[in-house]
Amino acid sequence: MTSKKEMKNVVERESNYGGFDFRDISLEEIRRHRKEPHFKMETSLHDRKINLKYDASYEESHPGKTEIILRDGTKHEINHHQYRGYSGCPRTLDMHVDLIYEPINEILFENGFGNLLLTIAF
């Protein structure tokens, strides 16, 4: 099983690569309840805090994957604050529309929710 210290090192290394202050990232090991996700990751754009939670038991059935998910999840959350060398998530307005708004709108429309009026402010 992967230790919390090892996971902390993964997150700290990624925060250094991304130019993000590691002190603004909390990492918590959780015990997942049935039907809950093994990982929970969120960021606050207001106070630049990132919260990462992971279920260490995930490693038992998916050896080596916890580290990859935490690394990539950390990178994703940092990118909301502009990962070093990038212009934030999802980098451009066109990518935001193409990769987020349009797919969500399509799925909702297909399930009877109608078209959405979306406002994008930058």
- Cα gap 1→21, rounded to integer Å: 27
Question: Mean pLDDT lowest for which of 35-44, 57-66, 69-78, 103-112?
Answer: 103-112
- pLDDT band per the 50, 70, 90 thresholds, residue 121: very low
- Cα gap 77→45, rounded to integer Å: 10
Instruction: Kindly report the pTM of this predicted structure.
Output: 0.73
- Cα gap 64→76, rounded to integer Å: 19
In CATH terms, is domain 4-79 a member of 3.30.2010? yes
DSSP secondary structure string for all residues of 17-41: HHT--GGGEEEEEE-PPTTS-SEEE
- pLDDT band per the 50, 70, 90 thresholds, residue 91: low
Q: Show me where the domains of the chain are located.
A: 4-79, 90-122
- pLDDT band per the 50, 70, 90 thresholds, residue 26: very high
